[in-house]
Amino acid sequence: MVHRVTLIPGDGIGPEVTSAARLVGDATGVPFEWEVVDAGEKAIQATGSPLPDEVLRSIRKNRLALKGPITTPIGGGFRSVNVALRQQLDLFASVRPARAIAGEGTRFPETDLIVVREATEGLYSGVEHWVDREHSAAETVAIVTRKASDRVIRFAFELARREHRHRVTAVHKANIMKTTGGLFQTAFREIAPHYPDIEADERLIDNMCMQLAKKPEEYDVLVTTNLFGDILSDLCAGLAGGLGVAPGALYGDELAVFEPVHGSAPKYAGQDKADPVAEILCLELLLRHIGEKEAADRVFRAVWETIAEKKVVTYDLALPGYTMTPVPPSSCSAMAKEIARKVPLVDLSAPLPRPKGTGPALDAQLET
Ligand code: NAD
């Protein structure tokens, strides 16, 4: 069966990293038909709108999209295309796995977390205004509903069950934001007992950040509201090796859109320099979603082996400081080609290689 997928190249480094993912997707042998549509800067030039109806129609029809990052103007300009897409398609659960790959680019080689973020409301509801004409005061409203809280919390527990995870931690600030935080906390406390096989606990957002910076390996699945999830998932991406290796997925009841945690990194646009792994791992998540498990395992394995070998890696993984053996950085396209080349060759039954020489702290951790 051919899988029709909406492909949104996006802005900045988006076209480069989505081409990389497409190359790797085609190397799996899974038959894809890519329907390319533009959102963001290119769409504004062509249609005047950053999110043309054609994009929404294509995703609704195919029920599946692979998306590159899209630039959002800071302060003024149009509203975030990313936020609008999530709201208009009701993509309520943003799932962002943070897995340390081959111990590279991280001081925490055991990191294996999943952040589940409510993606349609909270402080990103788009309800904000200036309080006075002088623009000396402003207000942004956080909207938290029981319906959206219930469904994202249930989603997190179901995901934990499906992926054999043992613990779900709710993250909020119910001590200060007693209504919005309190509502999310109440929903979590009422839903958790329906999943007696999964440990459930809570952390305040500030304490959660400190705990993650100290001992991320103790946590498993985190579920939280929109803004906290946005921030926590970047923090977790940093723990696992950086934005260059952090994929994400957005799920609604019927649709799924796969996009990396990172943005359009304008300073690297058009330089063939960005790490393609985050977008390639989005493809891995897409393959799992459509039931192509072996192809997904091959993609993950090919990424892991490429990073572990450390011969063809982009600048973020080649850096000295993280590693004892800095290497000359490769281009985005060279790394993608290397991963694509490995996809049909990898041995799925062999143990994943864990390289040494990735720094004294890591070596010590790997030896104990
Ligand atoms: P960013 O993630 O684009 O970049 C931050 C830094 O992370 C970069 O300067 C670079 O050093 C590094 N980085 C990011 N992706 C990388 C990659 N693939 N390989 C190597 N290094 C990488 O964040 P920003 O600079 O805050 O945002 C730029 C634009 O992207 C903004 O307009 C923002 O609104 C938008 N954005 C979009 C999305 C999305 O489309 N979902 C997400 C986040 C930010």
pTM for this prediction: 0.93
For the segment 228-276, what is each residue's pLDDT rounded down to a tens digit?
A: 999 999 999 999 999 999 999 999 999 999 999 999 999 999 999 999 9
For the segment 277-304, what is each residue's pLDDT rounded down to a tens digit?
A: 999 999 999 999 999 999 999 999 999 9
Average pLDDT over residues 1-20: 97
206 a catalytic residue: yes
Average pLDDT over residues 14-26: 97
For the segment 170-179, what is each residue's pLDDT rounded down to a tens digit?
A: 999 999 999 9
Q: Is 262 in the pocket of ligand 1 (CB under 6 A)?
A: yes
104 and 355 Cβ atoms separated by less than 8 Å? yes
Which residue spans of the chain are classified as CATH 3.40.718.10?
3-106+241-367
Q: How confident is the model at residue 351 (pLDDT cuts 50, 70, 90)?
A: confident
Which residue has the CA at smallest separation from atom 1 of ligand 1? 263
Which residue spans of the chain are classified as CATH 3.30.420?
121-219
- Distance from C-alpha of 69 to C-alpha of 82, rounded to nearest angstrom: 8
Statement: 3-106+241-367 belongs to CATH 3.40.47.10: no
- Give me ligand 1 centre to Cα 14, in Å: 10
Nearest atom in ligand 1 to the alpha carbon of residue 277 is 18
Among candidate residues 61, 178, 206, 267, the one labeled active-site is 206
Instruction: Say if residue 361's pLDDT is above 60.
Output: no
Instruction: Say if residue 366's pLDDT is above 50.
Output: no
Using alpha carbons, list the distances in angstroms from residue 287 to 6, 16, 133, 139, 292. Answer: 14, 20, 51, 41, 5
Instruction: Say if residue 193's pLDDT is above 90.
Output: yes
Nearest atom in ligand 1 to the alpha carbon of residue 267 is 9
The per-residue pLDDT for 28 is 97
Which residue has the CA at smallest separation from atom 37 of ligand 1? 263
172 and 184 Cβ atoms separated by less than 8 Å? yes
322 a catalytic residue: no
User: For domain 121-219, which architecture applies?
Assistant: 2-Layer Sandwich (3.30)
For the segment 130-158, what is each residue's pLDDT rounded down to a tens digit?
A: 999 999 999 999 999 999 999 999 999 99
Q: Is 79 in the pocket of ligand 1 (CB under 6 A)?
A: no
Q: Is 18 in the pocket of ligand 1 (CB under 6 A)?
A: no
Strand partners for 8? 67
- Distance from C-alpha of 146 to C-alpha of 183, rounded to nearest angstrom: 7
